[in-house]
Structure 1
Amino acid sequence: MLKAVSQLDDKQLNWRPNEFSHSISTLVRHIEGNIIERVSKGILNQEILRNREDELKHTFVSKSELEAIIEERIQLIIDTIRKISDETLEQKQMVRNRERTNLDMLHQCAAHFSEHMGQIFYIAKQCLKEDYKSTSL
């Protein structure tokens, strides 16, 4: 995500193809909301309220703010996974009225992030065209 975001300016990061689509800034804020809900609240048992509707509203966010969100939240996931015990992985959290293990939620988060990262890369390619530098390793 950082490789894609670093190639764009504030205007491009907040651009969306139409009023029914999301911008990169909105997608990053949505991923952040998911991390807050599933990791901070669900796994780390922190008292946090997520406002999903607010994170999905088209709101201008600067490139530096987006980069900070990505770095901070991905680091939270890394730190959590490094420290998590097998017992904690098997603990359950309620997700949409259904019990899910923390391990299941980490897998779900990875799939969810992957979907939105694909959208982010596609938007970046639309904005940059032939100037887009691949994020592949």
Structure 2
Amino acid sequence: MSLGEIYLNVVQERFKLVKADGDKTLAQLDIAQLHWAFNEESNSIAVIVKHVSGNMLSRWTDFLTSDGEKETRNRDDEFNDSIASKEELMAIWEKGWGVFFNTLNGLTEVDLLKNVTIRGQQHSVIDAIERQMAHYSSHVGQMAYIGKQIKGDAWKTLSIPRGQSQAYTDAMIEKG
């Protein structure tokens, strides 16, 4: 396997883990909790979902052939908390990730050597992928943090539970 193929496989798996953390966060919360925001300057999870999905639809539609900031995108509207139901929120979440993974999974090693345009600026495909890794990871982290604040002791951890690090490490070593 070539270095480019290894890279594409690694980032696909990493993005799947990022989405899984978002999925696990969303599953723990009801619609009222998804709309909770600390203050007027803070975003609710619903707003973060709307923004991440809007970014994905814009950046990853016609990824190699058109500017990643589409004229049809209304980024400012993404920060209006207008999602009415959890079903609508989940549809928005899945639509963005669907477009993203469809495009990412279709990239080839040769594509990694190309450039794409985002807001009129040229970026290597690798840089564009890595920018989105940082962007999506930070927003999913925000979602988890908000969820943990809301749920308190009822929060189901997304990673290794406190006090279980050594047992987890031992199990991973035993697993091989």
Give the TM-score category using the shorter length.
0.7 to 0.9
- Counterpart for residue 23 of structure 1: 44
What displacement does 1:58 show?
2.5
Partners of 1:7 and 1:132 within 8 A in 2: yes
- Counterpart for residue 83 of structure 2: 60
SS at match of 2:61: helix
SS at match of 2:123: strand
Partners of 1:28 and 1:70 within 8 A in 2: yes
Greater RCO (CA < 8 Å, at least 6 residues apart) = 1
- Counterpart for residue 127 of structure 2: 104
Deviation string 1:15-37 (CA, Å, 9 cap, x unpaired) is 11111110000001110111112
Distance 1:126 1:12 in 2: 10
Paired AA for residue 23 in structure 2:
L
In the comparison of the two structures, how many residue pairs are matched?
A: 137
- Counterpart for residue 95 of structure 2: 72
The question of 1:42 aligning with 2:63 is answered yes
Q: 1:90 aligns with which of 81, 92, 113?
A: 113
Instruction: Compute the TM-score of the two structures, normalised by the length of structure 2.
Output: 0.69
The question of 1:118 aligning with 2:146 is answered no
Distance 2:62 2:146 in 1: 30
Distance 2:96 2:83 in 1: 19
Deviation string 1:46-100 (CA, Å, 9 cap, x unpaired) is 9761110000123234211222222232232222222212333333222233201
Moved more, 72-81 or 125-134: 72-81
Name the larger-Rg structure. Answer: 2
Instruction: Work out the percentage of aligned pairs sharing the same amino acid.
Output: 33
- Which 5+ residue runs of structure 2 have no aligned equivalent? 1-21, 161-176
Paired AA for residue 76 in structure 1:
V
